[in-house]
A and B are shown apart, each in its own frame.
Chain A
C-alpha cells in the first residue's frame, strides 16, 4: 500500500474550515484514499473515502488532485469536538489484497475557541 505523508499537527479556530492535507505521491490506480479520525482513547472513526472524484458527506469533503498525488480533507465548520488525530490512508480494496489499514502518525488537529 502507498505511504502517505501528513503534517504532525495543525490548529484551527472554532467555526472556521479545517483543511487537512495529505501527500500520497506513490499511490497506485487501485488504491482509494481513506480518512479516519481518532479522538483520545477511542477507536478510530471512519470519515470519508474517494478514488478520483471529490466526495462529500455529512461529516466532511474530500478533494483529490487530478494526478491523485495529494488530497485535502475539509471540515467546513470545525467545532471543539473535531479535535482529534486525523489519519490519511491509501487502501487497495480488491479482494486479493490484505485489506488492512496502514496507519501512520496522522495529523493532530486542535480546534481552539
Chain B
C-alpha cells in the first residue's frame, strides 16, 4: 500500500534533549512538509522540501532542523533550542509537477517533553 509513515506514534523526551521524528513516503512524491499542531489549533508549517537536498523554512522553523537526503525520507529534529516542543507533529507529501497536487498526511507523532 502506498502512503506516509511516521514513527513513533508517541514519543517522550527529557527537556534539553534533541529528538528526531521519522517520516517516510512511498508515493514517489517530490515535495514533503512538516507541520506542528497544538491543542485546539490548526496546523502550522515548520519546514518543507520540494526536491532532494533542498528545503525551506516555514512559518515556525526556529528550534527545528531537517534533512532531505532521499526522496522518500524527510526527518525532523526537534532541538533543545525549541522552547515549547510538546505538540502533535504531522508530515505530509505532494507531487510537484506543473502544479502542486493535494497533500497527503501521515498519522502523526505526539511528542511530550518532560
Contacts and interface: CB of A to CB of B under 8 A. Distances in A.
Size category, B interface: 20 to 34
B100 A93 contact: yes
A95 B98 contact: yes
A38 B45 CA distance: 16
Given A41-B110, A95-B96, A101 B43 contact: yes
Majority SS at the chain B contact face = strand
Contacts of B92: 43, 101
Nearest to B6: A43
Interface in A8-55: 34, 41-46, 49
B14 to A, nearest CB: 23
B108 A42 contact: yes
B44, B45, B102: which has the most chain A beta carbons within 10 Å?
B102
Interface of A: 34, 41-46, 49, 87, 91, 93-95, 97-106
